Structure 1
Amino acid sequence: MVTESVLLHPWFIVGAIVVLVAAFAVGYLTRRGSRTPDDVRWVANASYLTELPSFRSRLALFRGGLAAAAALALVGGVAAGVLLARPVDRQTQSAELSTRDIVLCLDVSGSMVGYDAEIVDRFLELVEGFDGERIALSIWNQTSRTVFPLTDDYTLVTEQLTAARDALDFDVSSLDNGSYDPAALDRLLAFVAGTEGGDENSTSLIGDGLASCGLLFDENETERSRSIVLASDNQLIGTPIYTLAEAADFVTARNIGLIGIYSGEVTDTSAAEQKEFEDVIAAHDGLYFEASDPAAVDAIVDRIQSQQAVDLEASPETVVTDRPAAALTVLGLAFALLVVAVWRLRT
């Protein structure tokens, strides 16, 4: 960003100086000349008055006052010209747009709700490590819903992720004994709305969820680095359109990097589900983490930022900020002192 102080209409200063010089010239040329004898009232025995120290002092003070008034008028006129010329700071911002895109892809099936708040906290930590990257959030169960599309508005991203964490911070076991908070349940149902409605016997269709996340990347003709952060327990129930491996093939074929975060409860099948999840991520040159891994966030940020990003030059933007304070201060002081000087001259 380049900042320079300029005058938008500099010719006003020239105009102000010309007007001031013309005014002084007219005043000088039209001043009254030496008085003729007919205009003078003679007083006898008064010639000695001009030799008195008090008279000479007052005369010097009067002439000094006239010179000061003229100088103050000149300074005030130039300051007024500067104000008319409009002093500004002009900032030229040549923005560079980062070309890294990240889609946060979150499983919100029933078996994951108890763990999703922690996952979203990790997402919030990830956002703190980004600068200029575009981020999107997609949630899925039987079907998918885009919470927000790719954006670099980090205020919006943080607000939406915080709302997601609050909605997902729900004790699912409280539904069994009726001790749940109805307002909290309403928040959860409102947040996951749009992720259900398929086969009643299907849930956590991880392959379909991953594939739908792969479709959120736009600007296919632009050279960009693209990554999906997939969070799930891989507890598949039902028959998806894409298996996890097929969905991973689909996204990697589109040059999308894959990062997996595993979380979930321990069950009879969870060990096999976790291993499949890790193996598929590794087979596609991705990174695998457990949600509880304290090194996960830093490693994910490093992985994403290590990917080559092309800086696109955006159209330069010029911001003009008026800076009248200095000239206005000089004008005000000059006017105030001129009034004092003229008043003193009259007395």
Structure 2
Amino acid sequence: MNLAWWWMPLLVILVVLAVAGLGWWWAGRDSTKGDAVLVAHTRRLTRLPAYRAALGRQRVRLVGLAVLIGVTLLPLAVAAGRPGTEQTIDPEKRNRDIMLCLDVSGSMFATDRAVLNNFAEIVTNFQGERIGLVLFNNQAVTAFPLTDDYQLVSEQLQGYADGFSYFSESEYDPIAGTANLRIPASSLVGDGLASCVNNFDHADEERPRAIILGSDNEVHGSGVYTLGEAADLAKEQDVRVYALNPKPQGTTHAQLSEASERTGGRAWGLDSAGATDDVTKSIEELEASRLPDVAPVHVRTDLPTVPVVLGMLGLLCLYPLLWWWRR
């Protein structure tokens, strides 16, 4: 927090001190010198215990009053200086779209929570990109469409991650609608990937697009698209695929790697060292066009509430005290 008018509190304090000093000087003038009455042996009176006690009480009152005035004055002086916060906001928006695509079939159930946590970690490295999430088994469901509401993205990813616990009480059901009993197949990665490709909007605009695919590529049965055909579809629409595989070995991983690389992307093992950073860096390397009407905006937020409230509380205490004292 800083002060917009840093000099104002100093000015207020100097003015108050000047007025107080002038009042002290004026009060010290012996305006009744001509009417003064000289009294002998007053020292005996001033040495009386009752007199000294009364004088002590008077000094305590004056000190207390001075402290209360100071405590009241200081917050009001700070409020006069316009306390607040300042920040420079860059309204730059990158027109990149990133679709998170997650296989929620039975073979992935034990690792999907880790994949979603990995997604969440990757998302924290972006700002301004639109993020979406598609869940699939033998059919795909859009968990949430492309959005730049990062609070919603974070809440949704955490909710679906919690939904993969065996004793979950989460309101999010990550497998709801992803298993069609009329389709004798599961983990149709080709169909899932194709659905993710088709979830991108603004097809007529040249927007850098990427898919982060979480799957072990253990396909059972056949769907509309094979993994290779879905990769070709992604390549046609200039969508790069980056895959995270919790079981990065064997033929299935090799197929996933080949399909990802065909689109200009790459596949990693979920637990590979630096996989999250590599995915982020790879997406950052995508050309990010910027909107033309962007310029840094300096925003100041005034925060006068606390000093004003403290000053008003001081005044509320000061006036009754002065009234009681005058009695």
TM-score by length of 1: 0.59
- Partner amino acid for 1:136? G
- Does 2:124 match 1:124? no
Aligned partner of 2:180 in structure 1 is: 197
If asked which structure has higher relative contact order (CA below 8 Å, sep 6+), I would say 1
Paired residue total:
258
Match of 1:280 in 2: 259
Q: Which structure 2 segments of 5+ residues have no match? A: 6-31, 37-79, 323-327
Q: CA 1:94 to 1:128, structure 2 compared with 1: closer, same or farther past 3 Å?
A: closer
Q: Is residue 2:85 matched to residue 1:102?
A: no
Q: Percent identity?
A: 33
Shift of 1:300: 0.5
| Correspondent of 1:144 among 140, 144, 148 | 140
1:317 positional shift: 10
CA distance in 1, matches of 2:90, 2:288: 18
Quick one: distance in 2 between partners of 1:144 and 1:242? 13
Task: Tell me the SS of whatever aligns to 2:174.
Answer: helix
Q: Distance between the aligned counterparts of 1:290 and 1:190, measured in 2?
A: 26
Go from structure 1 to structure 2 and tell me whether the alpha carbon gap of 1:107 and 1:94 turns closer, same or farther (over 3 Å shift). Answer: closer
Segment drifting more, 161-170 vs 186-195? 186-195
1:235, CA displacement in angstroms? 1.2
Picking from 274, 286, 294, the partner of 1:295 is 274
Q: Select 2:158's aligned residue among 156, 162, 170.
A: 162
> In the TM superposition, what is the alpha-carbon distance from 1:222 to its structure 2 partner?
3.7
For each residue in 1:81-114, what CA deviation from the matched residue of structure 2 results, as whole angstroms up to 9, or x when unmatched?
xx9xxx9989896622122211110000111111
1:205: how far off?
0.9
Distance (whole Å) between structure 2 residues aligned to residue 124 and residue 169 of structure 1: 17
- The equivalent of 1:215 in structure 2 is 198
TM-score by length of 2: 0.63
2:28 alignment partner in structure 1: none
2:290 to 304, 311, 323: 311
Q: Which letter does structure 1 place at the counterpart of 2:114?
A: E
User: What secondary structure sits across from 1:96 in the alignment?
Assistant: coil
- In structure 2, what is the equivalent of residue 43 of structure 1? none
**Is the CA contact (8 Å cut-off) linking 1:112 and 1:232 kept in structure 2?**
yes
RMSD: 4.4
Residues 290-341 of structure 1 show CA distances to partners (whole Å, capped at 9, x for unaligned) of 1110210000111111212122239989887586979xx8xx99xx9xxx9x
Q: Deviations over 1:185-236 (max 9, x none)?
A: x869932111011544211111110010012222334442210001111111
Structure 2 SS opposite 1:120: helix
1:101-149 deviation digits (Å, cap 9, x = unpaired): 1111000011111121121121121122222222111110111111111
Superposed displacement of residue 263, structure 1:
2.1
The CA distance in 2 between the partners of 1:104 and 1:135, in whole Å, is 7
